[in-house]
Amino acid sequence: MSVNDTAAGLPAVNGEARPSGRSAPRGWPKEWSRLGTASLLWFIAAAVTALWADADEWERTGEFASLLAVAGGVLAFAAPLAGRARQTAGGRLKGAAGRLSAAVPWLIVLAIGLIGWEILTAKLNLLPRPFFAPPQALLEVYLDDWPRLLDCLAASLTLLVTGYAIGAVLGVVTGVAIGWSRAVGYWVHPVLRLIGPLPATAWLPIAFFAFPSSWSASVFLIALATGVPVTILTWSGVAGVNSAFYDIARTLGASPRFLVLKVAVPAAMPHVFVGLFMGLGASFAVLVVAEMLGVKSGIGWYLQWAQGWAAYGNMYAALLVMALVCSGLVTLLFRVRDRLLAWQRGMLKW
């Protein structure tokens, strides 16, 4: 390394001079091009929908094409902003730009999927009707039948939240009791082994006979589907707590109540949330079956009604709503877990 290099502040690495300053950010053109590709595909989807004549008449083709064009315009507008935000901005704006960049592959695949779906159904009519509806048929359901769909969604959420909350609370209490008390485990464990492997839908005849209304029977089935995995995972978490935690707490004069509430339950919370996630998935499956059999309003009832009238566009629209609601609830449960278990972040692999 020469004297001039040293004076210029160029440190030597492996005998060679390297610049000490950081190079200018050059990542945003790549972000721009990726988002530009996604935007172009959404515009192509809009063009295919609007300019290619439908094989049959669909009322909402123009609205669907406009919606696709709006999506393409939003991505085109966001492309340069996202690239610059990733390099210059900080905080939430940079995080939003990072999430948008991470979603680009899915945006591209979704646009390609919509183009293929549109061509195979509305344009060429290759898939048999009425079993396969074009995407504008789903948009027609959302625009024309939204009051009924919204009412069914509200009824399903009320039923789901009620049954899930009851099952989660009873599952946590029962799991803690089994993991803490040998006497409780002696009596409850065999019962749990008996009813645990059985699906909650197998109790449909008994539930509708034992409860005064179909709504209360559905709440029981959802609570049962939720409570079993929560109980088992909570029990496993409490039973697996390190005995050294209890010994230290007893040395400091902790009471049995303190050991349960402040030692066993917090240490078992990761297992509890695993059970809550499993119970949420099981409760959705039971919700649909229960509403199909006895409840007069709900997404399950709506699915059965649409299938009975061969309105498969309505059925697909309801399924999409259910998938989005389930995904939203799972995301919400993740947020709750991250907030409640923030103190364990250093001990857990998040």
pLDDT digits (tens, 9 = 90+) for 262-309: 888 988 999 999 999 999 999 988 988 888 876 778 898 999 899 888
For residues 15 and 1, what is the distance between their CA atoms, to the nearest angstrom? 7
**pLDDT exceeds 60 at position 248:** yes
CB-based contact 130:66 (threshold 8 Å) = no
> What DSSP character marks residue 233?
H
For residues 221 and 168, what is the distance between their CA atoms, to the nearest angstrom? 13
Q: What is the pTM of this model?
A: 0.81
Lowest mean pLDDT among 9-13, 109-113, 308-312, 314-318: 9-13
Instruction: Place 310 in a pLDDT band, splitting at 50, 70 and 90.
Output: confident
pLDDT at 86: 57
CB-based contact 325:180 (threshold 8 Å) = no
pLDDT at 178: 93
pLDDT at 90: 55
**C-alpha distance from residue 241 to each of 236, 244, 247, 248, 270 (Å):** 9, 9, 11, 13, 11
For residues 338 and 232, what is the distance between their CA atoms, to the nearest angstrom? 22
User: Which residues partner with 282 through β-bridges?
Assistant: none
- 38 CB-contact burial (10 Å; exposed 0-12 / middle 13-18 / buried 19+): buried
Q: Average pLDDT in the 68-77 region? A: 92
φ/ψ (deg, to 5) at 209:
-85, -35
Q: Which has the higher per-residue pLDDT, 311 or 347?
A: 311
pLDDT above 90 coverage of the chain, percent: 47
Tokens 């240490």 sit on residue: 267
**pLDDT exceeds 80 at position 97:** no
Q: Which uninterrupted H or E stretch holds 13?
A: strand 12-13
pLDDT at 196: 84
Q: Which uninterrupted H or E stretch holds 16?
A: strand 16-17
pLDDT digits (tens, 9 = 90+) for 124-176: 999 888 889 999 999 999 999 999 999 999 999 999 999 999 999 999 999 99
For residues 215 and 221, what is the distance between their CA atoms, to the nearest angstrom? 10
Q: Which of 256, 273, 263 is nearest to 240 (CA)?
A: 263
CA atoms within 13 A on the CB side of 69: 12
State the amino acid at position 159 in one-letter form. Answer: L
Instruction: Place 332 in a pLDDT band, splitting at 50, 70 and 90.
Output: very high
For residues 57 and 265, what is the distance between their CA atoms, to the nearest angstrom? 60
CB-based contact 121:134 (threshold 8 Å) = yes
